[in-house]
Amino acid sequence: MHGLYWLSPLIGVLAAVAGRADVIWDNGSFDGQRGISSEKDNYLVVHGSFAADDAVLTTGYYLQEIRWWGAALINQYHSFASYQAQFTILGDDPNAGALYLSEPMAFDATDTGTTFYSYRVYIGAVTVPDFYLAPGHYHFAVRLISNSGRNFQLSTGNGAVQGETMGLFQGQDFWGGPPPPYWVTIQQFVGLTTDFAFSLHGIVPEPTALLALLAIFCRARSA
């Protein structure tokens, strides 16, 4: 790890003294255009797929939550509760590997009451535990894990690109999709330029609290 990534285990101390959670990046809502696999199951996508997109942060943040627009198979055999979510955070060069890969976990899903190619459109939210992001360029992805369900990350912007890059894809179960840790742009994968619908939520650490935390850490390292 480089920069301030070593603060991640300690940054939770700031929660009691930091400000309220805010939107720190909004890539936009679903534009009704496209969806790409972001899932892992025991039937079709055995090795797993991820659809990622980027954000440019000009301030350091304590990341608390990732929200995204998805479309999942929901019927009498598959409920939202039958899925778990897994997210990953990547740096400026996603092919260098993940900065953070979560374990599968429970997530919140708000059903929009609409469908996309028969899949239920929802807004998902997953909690990010104590991860500090220094100013920089990052990529984020969330997938759903199930026994036999399907899930798609949905597009935004009608082809416009937010951040520095268009959406990325990883998935060796699909032709043209690479295995971890490698990624291709969505244009390389399916010939389309698009971004994905997601937002980041968190807090800016109070400067005095961050300085105090740095002092504590430095004393501990020199002891």
Tens-place pLDDT, residues 30-76: 999 999 999 999 999 999 999 999 999 999 999 999 999 999 999 99
User: How far does the chain reach from its first CA to its final CA, in angstroms?
Assistant: 22
pTM: 0.84
Averaged confidence pLDDT in the chain: 89
What local confidence, expressed as pLDDT, does residue 205 receive? 83
* Number of separate domains in the chain: 1
Residues with Cβ within 8 Å of 95's Cβ and at least 6 positions away in sequence, in order, are 181, 182, 183
Tell me if 203 sits within 8 A of 20, measured CB to CB: yes
The dihedral through the CA atoms of 153, 158, 159, 164 has a sign that is: negative
The dihedral through the CA atoms of 145, 63, 189, 113 has a sign that is: positive
Domain that holds residue 26: 5-222
